[in-house]
Amino acid sequence: MEIKDWDKTYHGQGHVSKLAPAQFLQDNIALLPKGKALDLAMGEGRNALYLASHGYVVTAIDGSEAAVEKCLQLARERGVLINGVVGDLTCYSIPPEEYDLIINFYYLQRDLIPKIKSGLRPGGMVVFETYTEEQGRYGHPKNPAYLLKTNELLHSFIDYKVIVYRELVLNVKEAGKEKALASIIAQKP
């Protein structure tokens, strides 16, 4: 989808996704370093809000102005601070060694991975979860450009200490349907 289409999606009343954070993030929060966090392609900010409520200093970026506005409104309602950025990730620069934690859920832009790696401080961690090629059997997305090949995510962070890695099909609670996913938590040396 184009950014303008996401703005239309997020502009309406209510919320596009349930506001519970991703289960993979919730299940592994205790493993993650505290400090500055960056949430890429945050949507309405469910994961950014979760991190902020756990004491992180969060910057969250999305291409949709409507999504960022919703996230910031929710942050005000919940009494947490988030630095919301409207930006195009295809040309976004992550400052080098700026973050202790960078998260990316359900968004695949392969040329962003080296930027993520550069943006982490030594000892910092990445949490990344998105769809694999098997997803085509379960629903959208089906475009191979947005789907990981087997072990592709693992190989992308092979020079990191891999803390958790999985590829599986599971019933994702927040979506209420099956998804074929690859998930990783990896630490920069």
Q: What is the pLDDT of residues 170-185, one digit of tens each?
A: 886 656 689 999 999 9
End-to-end CA distance of the chain: 35
Question: Using CA atoms in the order 50, 113, 27, 187, what is the torsion angle rounded to 10 degrees?
Answer: -110
Q: What is the CA radius of gyration of the chain?
A: 15
What was the pLDDT predicted at 76?
Answer: 96
In angstroms, rounded to a whole number, what is the distance separating the alpha carbons of residues 187 and 65? 31
Domain with residue 138: its CATH number is: 3.40.50.150
What was the pLDDT predicted at 5?
Answer: 47
CB burial string 59-87: b at 16+ within 10 A, e below: bbbbbbebbbbbbbebbeeeebebebeee
Give the residue among 125, 155, 130 at the shortest CA–CA distance from 24: 130
CA torsion sign, 39 to 164 to 186 to 80? positive
Work out how many domains the chain is built from and give that number: 1
* pTM score, whole prediction: 0.90
What was the pLDDT predicted at 18?
Answer: 59
Domain range enclosing 84: 3-187
What was the pLDDT predicted at 8?
Answer: 47
What was the pLDDT predicted at 171?
Answer: 83
Per DSSP, the residues of 87-136 read --TTS--PPTT-EEEEEEES---GGGHHHHHHHEEEEEEEEEEEEBGGGG
Q: What is the pLDDT of residues 50-76, one digit of tens each?
A: 999 999 999 999 999 999 999 999 999
C-alpha angle 173-57-119 in degrees, rounded to nearest 5: 90
Token pair listed for 141: 């997305």
User: Which residues of the chain have a pLDDT value below 50?
Assistant: 1, 3-8, 10, 15-16
